[in-house]
Amino acid sequence: MNIAFGVLGGLGLFLYGVNLMGTGLQKVAGERLKKLIEVLTNNRVMGVFVGAGVTMLIQSSSATTVMVVGFVNAGIMKLTQAIGVIMGANIGTTVTAQLIAFKLTDVAPVVIAIGVGIWIFSSKRKNREIAEALIGFGILFMGMDMMKDALKPLSESQVFKDVIVSLENPVLGILVGFGLTVILQSSSASIGLLLALASAGLIGVDIAFPILFGDNIGTCVTALLSSIGANKTAKRAAVMHLLFNIIGTVIFMVILRYPIEAFVTQMTDDPARQIANAHTFFNIINVLIQLPFAGFIVYAAKKMVPGEIEQKAGLKYLDSRIIETPSIAVGQASKEVLRMGKLVLEQLKNSKEAFYNQNEKLANEVFKQEKIVNDLESDITKYLVELSNAPLTDEQHATITTLFNTINDLERVGDHADNIAEFAYYRIENKVDFSDQALDELMDMFNQVEQAFQTSLDAFKTADTNIANRVIEYEGYIDKLEKENRSSHIDRLNKMKCNPSAGIVFLDIISNLERIADHSSNIALSILDALK
């Protein structure tokens, strides 16, 4: 019982340490993570490097693969890109095993002390994020040491020895590795357990190698479960991960296992280091062998998950799986808000054309767009609420606050565009005529407001303070223009140059346009506040 408690306690510390270190590294490298994703191209080799880099930073190949499923489901990554990232994730996860094999147990308390010291005495955000990673790093090794000490008494157990002997059957070893990873939901944890057994002198690389194969297959289960409810492309991405690891296991079991075992045992006498090296070689060689045939894996996945790809409605850039990596999720949320803004801009332009050309079809299009905008606001808000509960930096929290404010202003601009389309309908149905002067004044104000709103979207996209300040200048000018137009039109009404129906519509339209300028200014002010 003491052994079980010791192993479970050590495993708990290990998992907590890995998670804490990964979270800290994500925060430190947030912008770098976003840049890594942005360089994704159809170049599979680049995808391998991106997958390896992201996994090294977030300390979880499962999280990387789940994130890839999310990207594919959101339609922002193709299968040809995903296969490279998935392969790279398998390489990136070997870094954890290599770190563990260094046996830094003696320095772990010192690392934790340094991390806690930085956390307590430094108020700088970046320093506290580094401290978080250091604390996690130290806890990881303390958990490993606890597992190793708990497992040592098993060397005298005949039952345990018999179990180890049975694992010489490679198929059984693969099943054990698979089961461990499925239960623990972490290949790093199951490999950490293997290294603890090796450090206690209980197993060697010959027993561990088949278990490593099973670990790699078991880590696919997380992505497969994640793909439930996703579109067919996302399911295919999860299947590609499974195919890649199964094919690699078959290649090693039939051809490469014993040559690699011989090689790693010649490199070092340390069983833990042998297992870590075997894990690294297995994944690197697996990628080198299969990368040239990645197209066939994509083809096989399409055959295994047949059918046409469903057209995705609603959100384009967001998927809850991406929240596994908050720094990237925040960037994707910004893209979705900008997409919403562009739709609102199109809605505004359509409302103007519907009014001037008395186009009933365009007015109906504005009403349809208004419903889409409202749905987007609701969906993005739900996503941001979920994202705000993830481990975020202060800067990311500020960004989310800006996004909340921006989508509210965008939705209100959509409402005003909808109002203008209603006036277009009223003009068509009641055959309301306007004087040339009134139409010219409205066109000028429409154009100024459209430019102000477009500039606010540019400021949002670039986070440029100069562009944001330009929006505020526009808003001041439009306020003045609204007053002048109101005064001018009331003067025309008094002189009987316009009929009363036209006068009401004119004044309501310029009021709506002035409010659109106000919301454009609000977007710019939110950006300026976030950049302070």
Are residues 110 and 321 in contact, defined by beta-carbon separation less than 8 angstroms? no
What are the tokens at 460? Answer: 């949002």
Are residues 523 and 459 in contact, defined by beta-carbon separation less than 8 angstroms? yes
What are the tokens at 170? Answer: 């490679």
Q: Give tens-digit pLDDT for 51-101.
A: 888 887 776 777 777 778 777 877 667 888 888 888 998 898 888 788 777
- Residue 387: band (very low, low, confident or very high) from pLDDT cuts 50, 70, 90: very high
- Residue 203: band (very low, low, confident or very high) from pLDDT cuts 50, 70, 90: confident
Backbone phi, psi, residue 492, to 5°: -65, -40
Asked if residue 174 has pLDDT above 70, the reply is yes
Residue of 317, 376, 382 whose CA lies nearest to 346: 376
Most confident of 41-45, 174-178, 283-287, 301-305: 283-287
- Residue 251: band (very low, low, confident or very high) from pLDDT cuts 50, 70, 90: very high
Are residues 274 and 268 in contact, defined by beta-carbon separation less than 8 angstroms? yes
Give the span between the Cα atoms of 366 and 244, in whole angstroms: 47
Residue 365 confidence (pLDDT): 93
DSSP codes of every residue in 360-393: HHHHHHHHHHHHHHHHHHHHHHHHHHHHHTS---
Give the span between the Cα atoms of 159 and 523, in whole angstroms: 68
Q: Domain coordinates of the chain in residue numbers? A: 2-151+161-304, 325-530
Q: Which residues of 92-129 are buried (b: 16+ CB within 10 A; e: fewer)?
A: bbbbbbebbbebbbeebeebbebbeebbeeeeeeeebb
Give the span between the Cα atoms of 207 and 254, in whole angstroms: 16
Average pLDDT taken over every residue of the chain? 84
Specify burial of residue 289 (Cβ count, 10 A radius: 0-12, 13-18, 19+).
middle
Backbone phi, psi, residue 77, to 5°: -145, 135
3 state SS of 185? coil
| Beta carbons within 10 angstroms of residue 183's beta carbon | 11
Task: Provide mean pLDDT across the span 407-431.
Answer: 92
Give the span between the Cα atoms of 256 and 278, in whole angstroms: 11
Looking at domain 325-530, its CATH superfamily turns out to be Phosphate transport system protein phou homolog 2; domain 2 (1.20.58.220)
Task: Provide mean pLDDT across the span 37-64.
Answer: 75
R_g (Cα) of the chain, nearest Å: 30
Give the span between the Cα atoms of 245 and 469, in whole angstroms: 53
Count, residues in the chain: 532
> Percent of the chain beyond pLDDT 70?
89
Alpha helices in 227-325 (DSSP H): 232-251, 257-267, 271-290, 294-304
How far the first Cα of the chain sits from its last, in Å, is 57
What are the tokens at 447? Answer: 């154009």
Asked if residue 43 has pLDDT above 90, the reply is no
Angle at 430 between CA 429 and CA 435, to 5 degrees: 120
Residue 451 confidence (pLDDT): 95
Asked if residue 38 has pLDDT above 60, the reply is no
Are residues 340 and 377 in contact, defined by beta-carbon separation less than 8 angstroms? yes
Asked if residue 144 has pLDDT above 90, the reply is no
Q: Give tens-digit pLDDT for 208-244.
A: 888 989 888 988 887 887 777 777 878 888 899 899 9
The region that residue 185 occupies, defined by phi over 0 for left and psi between -120 and 50 for alpha, beta otherwise, is left
- Residue 398: band (very low, low, confident or very high) from pLDDT cuts 50, 70, 90: confident
Residue 34 parent element (H or E): helix 30-38
Q: Give tens-digit pLDDT for 323-371.
A: 877 878 888 899 999 999 999 999 999 999 999 899 999 999 999 999 9
- Residue 154: band (very low, low, confident or very high) from pLDDT cuts 50, 70, 90: low
CA atoms within 13 A of residue 82's CA, in its CB half-sphere: 30
